[in-house]
Amino acid sequence: MKSLQKQEKFVGRSGLRREGPAKLCGLARYVDDLPLPGCLHGVTLRSSIPCGRIKGLRFDPAFAWDECVVVTAKDIPGKNVVALIEDDQPLLADGRVRHPQEPIALIAHLSRARAYEALKHVRVDYEPEEPVLTIEDSLAKKRLLHGADNVFKRFEIVKGDVDKALAESDVVVSGEYRVPHQEQAYIENNGMAAWVEKDGTLVVTGSLQCPYYVHKALMKAFGLPESKVRVVQATTGGGFGGKEEYPSMIAGHAALLALKSGKAVKIVYDRAEDMAATTKRHPAVVRHRTGLSKDGKLLAQDVEVVMDGGAYVTLSPVVLSRGTLHAAGPYECDHVRVRASVVATNTPPNGAFRGFGAPQTLFAVELHWEKISQSLGIDSLTLRRKNAFDLGSTTATGQKLSESVGARECLERAALRSGYAARRKRYDLWNKNPRNRTWRGAGLALVHHGAGFTGSGEVYLASKAGVELTRDGRVVVLAASTEIGQGTNTMFSQIAAETLGAPLDCVEVAGPDTGRVPNSGPTVASRTCMVVGALVRRACLQLKDELDRAGRGARDAAALRRAARLLCGREASRRFIVEYEPPPEVRWDDASYKGDAYGVYSYACCVADLEVDKATFEVRVLRLTTAQDIGKAINPLLAEGQIVGGTAQALGYALLENPVYKDGAMLNAQLTNYIIPTAPDTPPIDVELVERPYSRGPFGAKGVGELPMDVPAPAIAAAVFHATGLWVASLPITPECLCREFHDRF
């Protein structure tokens, strides 16, 4: 391994962000920066009630409507749906609304201010109906919103005989865990621009993660063939899952206005609209019953998961799937049952957010170890050592882990690096001294995260990516995978340059444009580096073979130009496109939910050190130490950036981010009162990269994007418990909730 690494010129090195200079000079063009002379600005009329029939729209006759373009559901040329997994969500509400903020009509005006003004001059007459707003009301079928039982999707994992194993266990520990909505809070709000070309091609560009999702949705809503819809990503100011599915909605809206007005139309949300209307992380309730032997060996895990999907199916089945597949944690246990469901409520649909169901269920299983630790009198680090995955372990779905299992190494390295055991002892002493004005604690958590799509997902996606050599000797990576800040451009360039033996500045990455790049699948699920990066590498190997056959090399620009003339002939470029090939050893059965749920897992351990003010109950995180096994860091600086950034988001999830809902609507849809971590809120975050290479990943790389979001929240909750002795099993752990617990107890 060592000698191999030495030969690598670009991979494993912290190459500079390719588009960095443009971003640092304010020259990168985000959708709101695009000059579209004469374009109209679109705004959205939204439902103010959670559920009911629309009786009609009333337009104020005193307003100058002739200056505006107005669109309602009847203007939709194709099918009135935002096509995704199921076609149940309308592009514009037609006759009834099922959640607050549901789009009903669109208005465009040359002036953005006038467009907003126009919204105030439309009244919607409703016949309101009794809404279903909570998981409990939905399960109790207070009203039927979906099918016969309000359940969008169910999964069950069964391994061994859980009931028997629980009955035979020395101890059984039960616990209930709750997590709330979480807002992605990318700093660039959602936005899209659309226009129709002279030849009838519908073009949309904007802030998005998945160009081909938008492409598919537009084809259906507008009844257009593939070739007549073109989706181009603009520079995107953060996504975190929040720009996975909702951009299809906004693109559809901008396109409807563009079609009707014959002009270019831009829709850029303001912060309040973005937070109130677009998708969030699914709230969840998770219950555990865990059977163990006296000495702490896991014997049985019985887990129940219920998520709140909101009003439409959107991505809920897949979010639930990932949540289900991670619900038992990175531990070997012979008897496991996970029963999971996601239910309908009259709230805005929940969707993708970094981690995608896993942070919810991993929070529960990890914090549950503290409860088990209390009842067995064995510390949770020892318990994890006894049960964590190792090479050869079998997961809840019966997957045998045959390579790249860094769980134990992450656990040991994070514990060692943070001085976890010694610190716990020191804090215990500190906490005994009543003169200290704080309590201190240290907590730890360990997680796994499956990289790529769940189960057979990658097979269905059949992603394509490639590389082209242009006649003038440039190497261009072709993929629909988007740069959203995580470093796609840089990472792909490094993989291509390394594989070809070409200089980095001869390699570029094509901007995602459905008119130019193949469908490499969505930019989600920690799959861009591991899955698409592997495709890029394969395509580059094909090009390299061609170069070798022609007796040409790629060592510098002049050599590439010479090779290009030979390989391209009269063509402008030579393309090498490859398609995903499922590894033969990966077997998964959707019907029984058994088999290899993911090709491989990444692993992470986090240790949180914090103190809690005895007077105000404020939690100050002193330090976060994390070790993460990502197979191979193609670019260590970018990989660390992912880890530190994800860790900070999870700190917000654990302590600060508290979305408040009333009548199904988010009340604090502002950065003023929905608090995300600032620089002073965020402690130093110490990262150790663990590299257990994966044979199918490019240069051994596994997924890194979501993993860091999974692990800090339970570590922080465990540390709060260690510090205060107050058991808080729901997020966020605010001073108010600690104060309440404290006064309930004393």
Residues in contact with other proteins by the rule CB under 8 A: 14, 16-17, 19-30, 32-33, 35, 184-189, 235-240, 270-271, 484-487, 637-638, 640-641, 644-649, 670-672, 676-680, 682, 684-685
- Within a 10 A sphere around the Cβ of 689, how many other Cβ atoms? 18
Residue type, 217: A
Q: Which residues contact 597 (CB under 8 A, 6 or more apart)?
A: 325, 395, 397, 399, 450, 454, 455, 588
Q: Which is nearer to other proteins, 64 or 272 (CB)?
A: 272
Question: Least separation, in Å, of the C-beta of 477 and other proteins?
Answer: 20
Q: Which of 424, 297, 289, 310 is nearest to 365 (CA)?
A: 289
Q: Would you give the DSSP letter of residue 420? A: H
Question: Least separation, in Å, of the C-beta of 644 and other proteins?
Answer: 4
Question: Least separation, in Å, of the C-beta of 100 and other proteins?
Answer: 21
Question: Least separation, in Å, of the C-beta of 638 and other proteins?
Answer: 7
Q: Which is nearer to other proteins, 404 or 635 (CB)?
A: 635
Q: Which is nearer to other proteins, 14 or 72 (CB)?
A: 14
Question: Least separation, in Å, of the C-beta of 112 and other proteins?
Answer: 9
The greatest distance separating any two alpha carbons of the chain, rounded to the nearest whole angstrom, comes to: 84
Q: Give the start-end residues of each E strand in 388-506.
A: 438-450, 464-470, 475-478
Q: Would you give the DSSP letter of residue 81? A: S
- Within a 10 A sphere around the Cβ of 401, how many other Cβ atoms? 20
| CA pair distance 361, 287, nearest whole angstrom | 9
| CA pair distance 369, 374, nearest whole angstrom | 9
Q: Which is nearer to other proteins, 32 or 75 (CB)?
A: 32
Could you write out the DSSP letters of every residue in 313-329?
-TTHHHHHHHHHHHTT-
Q: Which of 542, 541, 520 is nearest to 531 (CA)?
A: 520
Q: Which is nearer to other proteins, 291 or 355 (CB)?
A: 355
Q: Are 319 and 284 in contact (CB under 8 A)?
A: no
For 445, the 3-state DSSP assignment is strand
Q: Which is nearer to other proteins, 240 or 427 (CB)?
A: 240
What are the backbone dihedrals phi and psi of residue 438, each rounded to the nearest 5 degrees, phi first?
-130, 160
Q: Which is nearer to other proteins, 281 or 692 (CB)?
A: 281
Question: Least separation, in Å, of the C-beta of 684 and other proteins?
Answer: 7
Paired with 640 in beta bridges are none
Question: Least separation, in Å, of the C-beta of 721 and other proteins?
Answer: 24
Structure tokens at 740: 């309440």
Cα distances from 198 to residues 69, 108, 227, 387, 524, in angstroms, run 20, 21, 14, 64, 34
Q: Are 496 and 475 in contact (CB under 8 A)?
A: yes
Structure tokens at 235: 């520079």
Q: Which is nearer to other proteins, 23 or 79 (CB)?
A: 23
Residue owning tokens 């451009």: 489
Q: Which is nearer to other proteins, 212 or 353 (CB)?
A: 353
Could you write out the DSSP letters of every residue in 110-130?
SSHHHHHHHHTTEEEEEEE--
What is the rounded radius of gyration, in angstroms, for the C-alpha atoms of the chain? 26
Question: Least separation, in Å, of the C-beta of 507 and other proteins?
Answer: 18
Cα distances from 269 to residues 221, 275, 314, 716, in angstroms, run 21, 9, 20, 34
Structure tokens at 503: 């200089």
Q: Which is nearer to other proteins, 19 or 370 (CB)?
A: 19
Q: Which is nearer to other proteins, 227 or 678 (CB)?
A: 678
Q: Which is nearer to other proteins, 85 or 644 (CB)?
A: 644
Residue type, 539: A
Buried b vs exposed e over 348-360: b needs ≥16 C-beta within 10 Å?
A: bbbbbbbbbbbbb
